[in-house]
Structure 1
Amino acid sequence: MSGKWPGSRLKPISDSLEAVGFVSKGDRKLLDHKAQKDYFSKIIERYMGFCARHSEDLNAAWSSLPTSASGDPTKNPPAVLPRSKGKQTAPNSPSPSAELSTLLLSLRKLREAILATASTIPVSFSQRVHVFSVRISIQAKHPPSYFPSLRYLLEKLHSPSHPLPESELKDLFSYLILDYACRQDDLVAAFELRAQARRKHAFQSPIVDRVLTALAHDNWVIFWQIRKEVDSSIRALMNWAEDRVRRHALKAVGSAYLSVGVQWITEGCTGDTGWTWDKLVETEKLGWQKEEDKIIIRKPKPRPQTVSGLK
């Protein structure tokens, strides 16, 4: 005997999503429409599993990818979930960021295959895949996935012969307008797209109007108020402007006040109860001093002393 056990050459378990490659790299598995539908079903199933596994703190799971306003943070995600205090984690279980990376890459493979077979598959299927991809990748804050899909949906897939549902069309226009305004900091493009959508599609959205007005007028109070009222997709897009709005608020407060209450700064300027004064100082490199429950921004200059008997 060679000394090797009969079962020692076990093949590694294959992930059904990762086993499929990109059409652009020569993989032909998704060029068949039935294979595309089956693959999409597996993606949806994996997505449902992701939501179920992280239901206790889904927001944290969605935020697990390193975020970048222009780059692709899904490259080289951590493969294992770090153990956290007070919560048992199965050994070698994938981290939320690894799960999200798999979902986003799988959707990219499917979108690529759909584009390669666009003339032979139903437009409705392409619409479903792209809309699903947009909604997931907005939550994951992954612009390379949602921005091109938004443009493709609104400019190519929505047509008089294959119109998107009115509510879905409104959502997609809202997402793209807010991406221009909040992530790309391009209010001109945002206002132009809103005008175009109003003219061609009778687009109306009080929420989008209020966000654009708040950003145009640097009104951080209204911006934070809106963010508390909207759904998770709109909030995720608004969050791209979070740092910008917070820093403008701090700058405005610093130029207008000598001192303010700690809570007024940590909540009023950030729009979030999760900020502490120490965290804000570290993040924004503030030089203000804290005295009990007040923040001293600057001390008033002492009045010049007058000498008795002199004029």
Structure 2
Amino acid sequence: MPSSGPSARRGPSGAWNRLKPVVTDPLDAYGLPSKGERRLHDYKTQETYYGRIVERYMKFCASTGGSEGLEKAFAALAIRDNNNSNTTTTTRDETGKPILARQISSTDRPNDMPSILLAMRKLREGILGSRRRDSFAQRAYMFIIHASILSRHWESYQPALLYLLHQIHPVTPLAPPELQEFVGYRILDLACRQYELLDAMAVKLEFKHRDRRVATVLRSLIHDDWVRLWRVKRAVDGHQRAILEFTVERMRLHALKCVGRSYMNADKAFIERTGDAQWDELVKTGVGWQLQESGNVVIRKPKAK
């Protein structure tokens, strides 16, 4: 006779036992401190979370397959002014505000940088909320600034730069080479992205900044000297070059306008050197001059008498 006890009414549990546990991304373990997250105000939690961010960032860099692939991956994250482009997507925070406009990657590797940038924002807000200004805060902010600059994500590196220079540095001073480096980023950001040349000069004088390449960039922008700017752009390091990208289109347009007012026709190679770009790229940006089979570019035609 079959048993009528509780065990007889128990349904099969094998299916439940086979369910895999939910895998949580360590970077998503905390919310934004500005939205009420309190755990990231703890010093030990900040240090552990920082280690996870650095580990993920290093894996991201290694997954791109070398310096060229890494440059393409960062370029895919560059902020675009054209929000209607079909090749861009937008990541938003909890309030619906755009955090990052980025190009869809052309490779089959997932682009993990938006998650890393959001995690860096959480850490930055946690350090800010705890008013931490020790050597760890200094190291974490330096890392955040470097990674954010390469991503051209000014929403991350600008507030981090200001806090590092004006809050952390007076309490935990940066070494002289580090101070020169990060003040240089601030000067370039003011000059190239915001086009506030007077403010950039004021910061240069305030911190007694002496980087020759940064000074050359300032002189180039003040005098609209695109030839000097293209030359120094090839000489600066990757972080400085990433900030310089914000001014490239403005200077390119100025250079091409000068050519258009000065020449009736010119050699294609000369036009490419002047615009610091290949002919196909210049055409995409709106250059409507006529390229002949001989390699000569017709800029203007003589007016008929």
Q: TM-score range by the shorter chain?
A: 0.7 to 0.9
CA distances 1:244-266 after superposition (whole Å, capped 9, x unpaired): 01100100000001111112112
- State the alpha-carbon separation in 1 of the partners of residues 47 and 157 from structure 2: 20
Shift of 1:300: 2.7
Select the residue among 162, 172, 192 that pairs with 1:151: 162
Q: State the match for 1:239 in structure 2.
A: 245
1:37 equivalent in alignment to 2:42: no
Name the CA shift for 1:261/1:164 in 2 (closer, same or farther; >3 Å): same
Select the residue among 126, 129, 152 that pairs with 1:116: 129
After the TM superposition, which parts of structure 1 deviate over 4 Å for at least 4 consecutive aligned residues?
1-4, 71-74, 76-84
Q: Which amino acid aligns with 2:164?
A: L
Checking the alignment, whether the CA contact within 8 Å between 1:123 and 1:157 is kept in structure 2 is yes
Q: State the match for 1:172 in structure 2.
A: 182
Checking the alignment, whether the CA contact within 8 Å between 2:91 and 2:101 is kept in structure 1 is no
Unaligned runs of 5+ in 2: 1-10, 84-88, 93-97
Matching of residues 80-159 of structure 1 within 5 Å = 84=107, 89=108, 94=110, 96=111, 99-118=112-131, 121=132, 123-159=134-170
Checking the alignment, whether the CA contact within 8 Å between 2:220 and 2:228 is kept in structure 1 is yes
- State the alpha-carbon separation in 1 of the partners of residues 22 and 105 from structure 2: 23
- State the alpha-carbon separation in 2 of the partners of residues 238 and 165 from structure 1: 25
Q: State the match for 1:298 in structure 2.
A: 300
- State the alpha-carbon separation in 1 of the partners of residues 18 and 261 from structure 2: 71
Partner of 2:26, secondary structure, is coil
Checking the alignment, whether the CA contact within 8 Å between 2:264 and 2:300 is kept in structure 1 is yes
Unaligned runs of 5+ in 1: 305-311
- State the alpha-carbon separation in 1 of the partners of residues 103 and 300 from structure 2: 48
TM-score by length of 2: 0.84
1:63 equivalent in alignment to 2:75: yes
Shift of 1:41: 0.7
Q: Which amino acid aligns with 2:175?
A: P
Select the residue among 216, 219, 225 that pairs with 2:222: 216
CA distances 1:151-174 after superposition (whole Å, capped 9, x unpaired): 111111111x52111111001110
Partner of 1:37, secondary structure, is helix
Q: Which amino acid aligns with 2:116?
A: L
Checking the alignment, whether the CA contact within 8 Å between 1:65 and 1:74 is kept in structure 2 is no
Shift of 1:60: 0.6
Name the CA shift for 1:212/1:117 in 2 (closer, same or farther; >3 Å): same
Identity %: 36
Q: Which amino acid aligns with 1:65?
A: L
RMSD: 2.6
- State the alpha-carbon separation in 2 of the partners of residues 217 and 225 from structure 1: 15
Shift of 1:205: 1.1
Partner of 1:260, secondary structure, is strand
Shift of 1:68: 4.6
Name the CA shift for 1:66/1:269 in 2 (closer, same or farther; >3 Å): same
Checking the alignment, whether the CA contact within 8 Å between 1:289 and 1:297 is kept in structure 2 is yes
Name the CA shift for 1:74/1:140 in 2 (closer, same or farther; >3 Å): farther
- State the alpha-carbon separation in 2 of the partners of residues 23 and 278 from structure 1: 46
CA distances 1:248-299 after superposition (whole Å, capped 9, x unpaired): 0100000001111112112x12324xx2x23322312x33211120100112
Matching of residues 177-216 of structure 1 within 5 Å = 177-198=187-208, 203-216=209-222
